[in-house]
A = this chain, B = another copy of it.
Amino acid sequence: MKVSELGEFGLIELLAKIVGKSKGESVLIGIGDDAACWRTEASLQLATSDTLIQDVHFTLSTITWRALGWKALAVNLSDIAAMGGLPQYALVSLGLPEDTEVESVAELYEGMKELACLFDVAIVGGDVVGAPVVVLGLAVVGVSQNILTRSAATPGDRIAVTGCLGASAAGLAMLRKGLKFDEKTTATLREAHLKPHPRVVEGQTLARHGVKAAIDLSDGLVSDLDKLCKASGVGARLFTSQVPVPPVVRKSFGDDSINLALTGGEDYELLFTAQGEIIDKVREAMPCPVTVIGEIVDEPGGEEPGRVKIFDEQGNEVKLDKEGWEHFAHLKGDSGQVY
């Protein structure tokens, strides 16, 4: 069987099975969450890694080297944020074609460093190798006291998100299709797509207030919520009328804006679930908007997919024909995450 037939998530499940459990009790979270987590004498350690590949995850025609550096690190910090952790150290492993300009690589590092400084993350290592296309391999290590996992959602929980959704996908659509908007809109959408701000402080705030279940929104709201439901063995009801779409997206993309918010991905906001009273407390403590968009219900059973049911303003169930993207599937079409 080809990996494209099995799909990204099926493959990850298979690999997790091969790897199995090891090191006894010290590993709390292995493969399959936003980051790995293990216990040391003094704390919980978190670690995550991601590889970004030219013309799969980004194209240099729509992103500057500096923004690419920022974004590559942001994606990893967001994974630590989704576990409620404090990112501390980053390792960078670069694959570069030999005709890459040194100035470009320096810009890439300046972008990473800019974000690293914001969050007091030290870039402590990494190597450089030759490659046919640009390959960015990052690993980030952090610590936590209480962790957020994908597997802790419970029926009766409310589903909430930080910030707004859809601006990153709107920015991607603008950049790829060459859409023209006014200067401010263009700048806002561009920034949303190219320089996401990982919700590090927010993730720690969630963990501190007793939230247990969270995931960061990288692949798309519906797709990521489905992953959380699957890991928790629950179902979800999602109300489109409550999904926070920023006015700039509504204005520029009209009826399409809700689809961008539901399936676009790369907003790097946090989705979390908790009892209503906890969410009320969290909302007061958070430095950003928190919006309830649905509720966790018992696992509906039956055929997949179907864990996430989506309802429109009139209370009618709606179906999506594209629930975010899978890394392999997208290689076939033009619906990929190319920033």
Identical copies in the complex? 2
- A-side interface mostly: mixed
**Is the pair A19, B109 in contact by a Cβ cutoff of 8 Å?**
yes
> Are A31 and B124 in contact, CB atoms less than 8 angstroms apart?
yes
Determine if A40 and B42 form an interchain contact, defined as CB atoms under 8 angstroms apart: yes
Interface residues of A in 88-144 (CB under 8 A from B): 88-89, 91-96, 98-103, 105-106, 109-110, 113, 116-117, 120-133, 135, 137, 139, 141, 143
List of B residues within 8 angstroms of A126 by Cβ: 15, 31, 49
A151 to chain B, nearest CB (A): 15
Residue in contact with A56 in the complex, picked from B6, B31, B36, B129, CB distance below 8 Å: B129
CA distance in complex: A29, B122 (Å): 11
Cα distance A151–B25 in the bound complex, in angstroms: 37
- A179 an interface residue at 8 Å Cβ cutoff? no
B-binding segment of A170-178, A197-205, A238-246, A324-332: A324-332
The answer to whether residues A56 and B139 also contact, given A18-B110, A22-B122, A99-B2 and a CB cut-off of 8 A, is no
Contact of A1 among B22, B101, B139, B143 (CB under 8 A): B101
**Complex Cα spacing A92 to B139, Å:** 10
Residues of B within 8 A of A102 (CB): 1-3, 5-6, 11, 14
Q: Could you list which residues of chain A lie within 8 angstroms of chain B, going by C-beta atoms?
A: 1-6, 8, 11-12, 14-15, 18-20, 22-23, 26-27, 29-31, 33, 35-36, 38, 40-43, 45, 47-53, 55-57, 88-89, 91-96, 98-103, 105-106, 109-110, 113, 116-117, 120-133, 135, 137, 139, 141, 143, 327-328, 330-332
